[in-house]
Amino acid sequence: MKYLSIFKTENEQSMERYSLIIDRIKSIIEEETVEEPFRDYFKKTASFLILIDQVANLVKEDRLKDLSLEELQDLNYKLYEDILESNYETSYANPSYASSKLGKDYGQLLSFLYTELRGLIASAFEGRIFHVVLFFELFVEVYNQFEQGERAKDVKRTICDFISDNSRYLMDYRTRESLDPDLSFAADIIMNWDLNDLRYLYQFGEYIGENEIKIAQYLNGLEEDKVKAMAFTYVDGYVRGFEVANIDLSKKKSVNIRYNIGFERMIKYAIEFFAEKDLRPVIYRAAAHNINKRQHLKIGYQSTGPNKQYDYDHRFDDGLYLTKKFKADKLEALEMAYEKYKELAFTYAGPALIEVYGEENFLPKNKESAVVLSDEQEELLLEYNRDASIVANRYIKGDETSFTIIAYPIPEIGENFVEIFNETVKVNTLDNKTYQEIQQRIIDVLDQGEYVRILGKDSNKTDLKVMLSILSNPDKETRFENCTADVNIPVGEVFTSPKLTGTSGILNVSQVYLNDLEYIDLCLEFKDGMITSYDCKNFDEDSENKKYIKENLMYNHDTLPIGEFAIGTNTTAYVMARKYDIQDKLPILIAEKTGPHFAVGDTCYKMSEELKTFNPDGKEIVAKDNEVSILRKTDISKAYYNCHTDITIPYNEIKEISVYNKDGSKVLIIEDGRFVLSGTEKLNEAFEY
């Protein structure tokens, strides 16, 4: 494979070290030089690394492709069995189990080490022997320390020094794989395998469960024209995003494709359609090592995974090594990497995402044994994310790139999967022109108003006043973007960056799924556009609920602004969700179109505020800044929060959405969950089915 030839020199230079270290690891299985309870940990971990060695040899000898389906399935199970839900309670990857067996100090450290070693699955499948060697040597070094009776603080120093010493390499490779089409591991599988031969699924090295198998089988059974149409909708939305934003796509050479394994038949056609636009695919997997992760979130290609609790338990493992110096070193490493790959960054067009939905809702357990960040580390992480975002934007300018997102259900959604899939395709291809005209009616009313009031219905406590920005020239300017199916598929919303001053009240939703986590009875209170208090009913203890929101919704910020106010118009998607009782499973991409929604964090125009954009009626969209983001002109470090999370209130929880004009008059847009504004009545037709 061409991809493997890229690493030929590094691999050849590492083979002697590799041979020595794997022999040492194999000998650990037979040794009894480390006392219990640690001996069991090292023997089990060594056994896992020997399995990694087997994979590495299969790849090196190009024999992985020759294994039968049954052999590949067996290998995949062995690689992931330890962290499956059924086995996780007795896995050293589980910090609770590790702490109970090894003590909390050693338990956290060695659970983290084991988790980092599990990241070598990716390296072995990709044939990066030189990368495997580094972590193998770390494992043996720690083992040797236990042989010598070292203390926990010495073991921690060894692990932390390893992360620090290799941060530049790890950041460099992650930056390169996010920009370089020549790192074509996944693309080679997609384009070169017979996708009817499901053995291809096991070539990626990711966990392959029923979702991945069944969606691949389903897509393989669809008519070619249908799959091509799905791919075309996806690619066409991406291209139109550039056209709508008046960004020159011809200067770009690569597009990042992010998707869930199983959709390869669609992705193959998408790659071909992108090629017609002279764009090569950059397809990198979700990060395998903590230094490149963002909490429990997965950015890159992935599977639905073996165990969400495993990812959640290790979301703050950087608390073991994060210091002020490490933060500075990591940022320096990122800058050096971007400078090294600046030509690739300049020609990078942006991401094209395929999201999936239908998984069982995940309500995580908070474990005392899991690593947590100190107050100082929380601040350091916020500072790093802010500064890293600024660095990235210097090389990948927000006003010169675009994106698109589309979503499809997976088989886990239930027995109506086929029907829901077909209806999702329908939702994704609704007529843009129809919605554009209806949404313009809504925008015309909103542009005349001073503020909007949103009231919840029945048990929903929402009572929120949203102030609208001032228009200097209403004949040529507009506050709201008329959003059709380009960057955000499906069609169906009008949105703005509201004025923060005066935006106050309560936002409440009975149940919502955000960033892969469920929130029950989420309630946020705002004053002058900033969150002042927050709560939910996920846990019995109020303190646990607040901690859950701060860590996962607010990303440890003390407050966040309302970065977006929108009115979703896709009643077809809403009715689909109600018909199949999947409201709680819709991805935010679709859910945000099924009612009013509010984003907490940055505006939709982050770092592209100066780019002139226009609605189809020719008016320029001018409401791109708020009182926080405008600080970019004086101190960019204070302008952005590096998060943007949409929270939607479904139509059935809405009593009223009204526009209030300066003269005190009021115009209703939605009343009791139905559109009542003249010219929008067609949206209610979906409710009749």
Q: Name 599's Cβ contacts closer than 8 Å, sequence gap at least 6.
A: 562, 563, 564, 566, 644, 645, 646, 647
- pLDDT higher than threshold 80 for residue 3: no
Instruction: Give the mean model confidence (pLDDT) for residues 191-201.
Output: 97
Predicted model pTM: 0.93
* Contact in structure between 595 and 574 (CB atoms under 8 Å): yes
Question: Residue 153's pLDDT band (boundaries 50, 70, 90)?
Answer: confident
Q: Residue 313: what pLDDT?
A: 97
Question: Residue 443's pLDDT band (boundaries 50, 70, 90)?
Answer: very high
Strand order in the sheet with 654-660: 530-535, 517-527, 499-514, 463-467, 451-456, 654-660, 666-671, 674-675
Check residue 358 and give left, alpha or beta (phi > 0: left; psi -120 to 50: alpha). Answer: left
* Kind of pairing between the strands at 254-258 and 280-282: parallel
Q: For 492-507, write each residue's pLDDT tens digit.
A: 999 999 999 999 999 9
Q: Residue 517: what pLDDT?
A: 87
Amino acid identity at 410: I
Q: Residue 4: what pLDDT?
A: 75
Of the chain, the percentage scoring pLDDT greater than 70 comes to 99
- pLDDT higher than threshold 90 for residue 308: yes
Q: For 20-70, write each residue's pLDDT tens digit.
A: 999 999 999 999 999 999 999 999 999 999 999 999 999 999 999 999 999
- pLDDT higher than threshold 70 for residue 430: yes
Q: Residue 449: what pLDDT?
A: 96
Q: For 243-288, write each residue's pLDDT tens digit.
A: 988 899 999 999 999 999 999 999 999 999 999 999 999 999 999 9
**Strand residues in 335-435 grouped as ranges (E):** 348-357, 404-409
Q: Residue 484: what pLDDT?
A: 83
Q: Give phi and psi for 480, each to the nearest 5.
A: -105, 140
Q: For 392-412, write each residue's pLDDT tens digit.
A: 999 999 999 999 999 999 999
Q: Residue 496: what pLDDT?
A: 96
Q: Which of 85-94, 127-136, 436-445, 509-518 has the lowest mean pLDDT?
A: 509-518
* Contact in structure between 110 and 143 (CB atoms under 8 Å): no
Question: Residue 474's pLDDT band (boundaries 50, 70, 90)?
Answer: very high
Instruction: Give the mean model confidence (pLDDT) for residues 598-616.
Output: 92
Q: Residue 397: what pLDDT?
A: 93
- pLDDT higher than threshold 90 for residue 92: yes
| Domain chopping of the chain, boundaries | 2-150, 185-405, 430-688
- pLDDT higher than threshold 80 for residue 485: no
Q: For 557-595, write each residue's pLDDT tens digit.
A: 999 999 999 999 999 999 999 999 998 899 888 999 999
Q: For 346-388, write each residue's pLDDT tens digit.
A: 999 999 999 999 999 888 999 999 999 999 999 999 999 999 9
Q: Residue 149: what pLDDT?
A: 81
Question: Residue 515's pLDDT band (boundaries 50, 70, 90)?
Answer: confident
Please give the Cα distance from 93 to 519 (Å, whole number).
26
Q: Give phi and psi for 80, each to the nearest 5.
A: -115, -5
Q: Residue 138: what pLDDT?
A: 97
Q: Residue 219: what pLDDT?
A: 97
Q: For 535-545, write each residue's pLDDT tens digit.
A: 999 999 999 99
Q: For 608-665, write each residue's pLDDT tens digit.
A: 899 899 999 999 999 999 999 999 999 998 999 999 999 999 999 999 999 999 999 9
Please give the Cα distance from 419 to 426 (Å, whole number).
11
Token pair for 293: 């992760």
- Report the SS3 class of residue 562: strand
- pLDDT higher than threshold 70 for residue 1: no
Question: Residue 487's pLDDT band (boundaries 50, 70, 90)?
Answer: confident
Of the chain, the percentage scoring pLDDT greater than 90 comes to 90
- pLDDT higher than threshold 70 for residue 689: no
- pLDDT higher than threshold 80 for residue 98: yes
Sign of the C-alpha dihedral, residues 600, 601, 604, 609?
positive
Q: Name 13's Cβ contacts closer than 8 Å, sequence gap at least 6.
A: 130
Helix (H) or strand (E) run with residue 155 in it:
helix 152-177
* Kind of pairing between the strands at 348-357 and 254-258: parallel
